Amino acid sequence: MKGSVIKYERDNIDTDVILPGPYLKIHDYAELAKHAMEGLDKDFHKRVKPGDFIVAGKNFGCGSSREHAPIALSYSGVKAVLALSFARIFYRNAVDGAFLLPIEIDESAYHDISDIDSLEIDISKNEIKNLTKNKVYKMKPFPELIGKIIQAGGLFNYKP
């Protein structure tokens, strides 16, 4: 999985900025994508390309349970969010709905990765290659069940 980075160097990027409240009434996924990150970055929808990765600090996706948040990012083209940590509902929505990969990275990778760097992520090796900087970082392995759900392609495809 290869893509380039959109980096937000901040913690607690909450669901109110990922997909603001007034759009909660919308359930058309392509329409939601137009409003992704609107509360933080008005230009996100112009900037994002299919296959991009978001890099952010701790507690990404805190706040509401709205699945609109990972949906809006996913339908914008975002394949993974790399963050120091994730809020629990955002994390399970991303995985169970197979919208994007929530990947936990450590402080050194977080500080090292820059905006527009090209990355290659290999979840079978728990490895992130920074193709721009020619470096390799470790990602935190997915817990067993999460790994299985990701492999199955979401909770509905997973057979316990």
Partner 1 sequence: MLNITEKILARASGKSKVSPGDVIFVNVDKVMIHDVSGPGVIAVFEKLKKIGMKIDKLWDPDRVWVAEDHFVPAADKISAQNIVSLTNFTKQFGIKKHFKYGMGQYGICHTLSHEEAMVLPGEVYVGGDSHTNTTGALGAFAAGLGHTDIAYVLLNGKIWFKVPETLYFKLNGKLPDHVMAKDLILKIIGDIGNDGAAYKTMQFGGTGISEMSVESRLTLTNMTTEAGAKSGIVEPDQKLRDYLTAKGATKYDEVHSDADAQYEKIYEYEGSEIEPTVAKPFSPENIAIARDLSSIELDKAYIGSCTGAKLEDLQAAAKILKGRTVKIRTEVLPAAISIFKKAMEEGLLKIFLDAGVVVGPPTCGACCGAHMGVLAKDEICISTTNRNFPGRMGHVESQTYLASPLVVAASAITGKITDPRDLK
Residues found near partner 1 in the complex (CB under 8 A): 11-12, 14, 16-17, 20-22, 24-27, 29, 39-40, 58-59, 62-68, 70, 85, 87-89, 92-93, 96-97, 143-145, 154-156, 160
Q: With respect to partner 1, which residue has the nearer C-beta, 11 or 112?
A: 11
Rg (CA), the chain: 15
Q: With respect to partner 1, which residue has the nearer C-beta, 39 or 77?
A: 39
Q: In whole angstroms, how close is the CB of 127 to partner 1 at the nearest point?
A: 24
Q: In whole angstroms, how close is the CB of 112 to partner 1 at the nearest point?
A: 23
Q: In whole angstroms, how close is the CB of 43 to partner 1 at the nearest point?
A: 14
Q: In whole angstroms, how close is the CB of 103 to partner 1 at the nearest point?
A: 17
67/90 Cα distance (integer angstroms): 7
Cα-flanking dihedrals φ and ψ of residue 54, to 5°? -95, 135
Q: With respect to partner 1, which residue has the nearer C-beta, 57 or 77?
A: 57
Q: In whole angstroms, how close is the CB of 28 to partner 1 at the nearest point?
A: 8
Q: With respect to partner 1, which residue has the nearer C-beta, 135 or 158?
A: 158
Amino acid at 131: L
Name the one residue in this structure whose structure tokens are 């699945």: 67
Name the one residue in this structure whose structure tokens are 């399970």: 92
**Per the structure block, which two tokens stand in for 67?**
């699945």
Q: With respect to partner 1, which residue has the nearer C-beta, 53 or 86?
A: 86
Task: Order across the sheet with 2-7: list the strands.
Answer: 101-104, 80-83, 53-56, 2-7, 118-122, 127-130, 135-138
**Within 10 Å of residue 131's Cβ, how many Cβ atoms?**
12
